[in-house]
Amino acid sequence: MLTIIFSILISFFTVLFICPGLKRFLERLKITGVDQQKISKPKMATSAGILVLSGVLLGGFFFIGVNTFLTHSPINITYLLAAYCSIFIITFIGFLDDLNITRKPKSNKGMEDFRVGLKQWQKPLLTLPAAIPLMVVLVGTTVMDFPFLGVIDFGILYSLLLIPIGVVVVSNVTNMLAGMNGLEAGLGTVAMIAMGIYTYMLGRPEASIIAFTLAFSLMAFLKWNWYPAKFLPGDSLTYLIGACFAVVVIVGNIEKFGMIVFFPWIIEAFLKLRSKFGARSLGDIQGNCTLKSPYKKVYSLTHLVMKIRPMKEWQITTTLIAFEIVVCAIAFLVV
């Protein structure tokens, strides 16, 4: 436990200390995005995935080093290294999406943005190879316990089919519930703390160290991403969160718990499917800085919150984070 504490502290302070310098560096390179939910439409640094990944990797490698050379705890380093390889690949794909920018603003689902982004069909295709490291080390168990379905043994299909499906789907779905200051990092923090605690209780430190280092890295980033944001997450961060989510579930063998914790993103995916993935999660800014749903129908959880009553951006974020806290509490009660 002491090693985990030092690891998460390293993750937290790594992100906290390098964030200002990286922000200036990205803005100098014009790797910027537009904060769409502000009347002034300010431009600022984006692609915080590489920032948060630095904290996750440094904290994780410290954990591996201490266990290898000092404590000699019975952890599976092969699983950890394969997991970090998958996380790095997916974050890199998100970073490529953030790099796809233009000097002139272009319309993106009705909003002016400098980011063009990868095409929808390219993202799952490019993230698919990230599953290979987890497949070849045969991480996880073939027996899974699903809600309502019970226990199922998938055999070799677990590694050859379920792992790649899980990695691709989860890493891409987390990119759908995004766009509000602090939303991505806030939801990710809550989910990872819950999964870190649960896997630690089960005695699976390989999964818990990934969850905890990401959670505390996201906490440090929230200092810059909370309303009003000074640093935007970009797709690299949403993909990083999705990658870590999939990896923690697979390495920790917590499919049932993970599915419940992931419930808000599952709802978001079905709502976006309802719009044929053409709707945006963002709202229309009103004169009093509140946000109104841009559609008559609900195509996102953010739209649902906006329809309850007019809310400011930080209120919508706080409401959805509170919802995730309730979902995580239910996961502990049910599982």
Cα–Cα distance, 275 to 79 (Å, whole number): 38
pLDDT tens for each residue of 138-195: 887 777 766 667 778 888 888 899 999 999 999 999 999 998 999 999 999 999 999 9
Cα–Cα distance, 209 to 225 (Å, whole number): 24
Burial class (CB in 10 A: 0-12, 13-18, 19+), 169: middle
Q: What's the pLDDT at 110?
A: 62
Q: What's the pLDDT at 301?
A: 95
pLDDT tens for each residue of 105-128: 666 666 666 667 777 778 888 999
The answer to the question of residue 235 being in a domain is yes
φ and ψ at residue 146, rounded to 5 degrees: -100, 145
The answer to the question of residue 69 being in a domain is yes
Q: What's the pLDDT at 107?
A: 64
The answer to the question of residue 307 being in a domain is no
Instruction: Count up the domains in the chain and report the number.
Output: 1
The answer to the question of residue 28 being in a domain is yes
Q: What's the pLDDT at 103?
A: 58
The answer to the question of residue 277 being in a domain is no
Q: Which domain holds residue 25?
A: 2-259
Residue 65 tokens read as: 């080093």
- CA-CA distances (angstroms) from residue 51 to 17, 55, 71, 248? 10, 7, 29, 20
pLDDT in single tens digits along all 335 residues of the chain: 889 999 999 999 999 999 999 999 999 988 888 898 888 889 999 999 999 999 999 999 999 999 999 888 888 999 999 999 999 999 999 998 888 766 566 666 666 666 677 777 788 889 999 999 999 988 877 777 666 677 788 888 888 999 999 999 999 999 999 989 999 999 999 999 999 999 999 999 999 999 999 999 999 999 999 999 999 999 999 999 999 999 999 999 998 899 999 999 999 999 999 988 888 899 988 878 899 998 989 999 999 999 988 899 999 999 999 999 999 999 999 98
Contacts of 225 (CB under 8 A, 6+ apart): 48, 181, 182, 184, 185, 231, 232, 233
Cα–Cα distance, 82 to 85 (Å, whole number): 5
Other CB atoms within 10 A of residue 154 CB: 15
Contacts of 127 (CB under 8 A, 6+ apart): 89, 90, 93, 167, 168, 171, 172, 239
Q: What's the pLDDT at 109?
A: 64
The answer to the question of residue 308 being in a domain is no
Q: What's the pLDDT at 101?
A: 66
The answer to the question of residue 289 being in a domain is no
The answer to the question of residue 64 being in a domain is yes
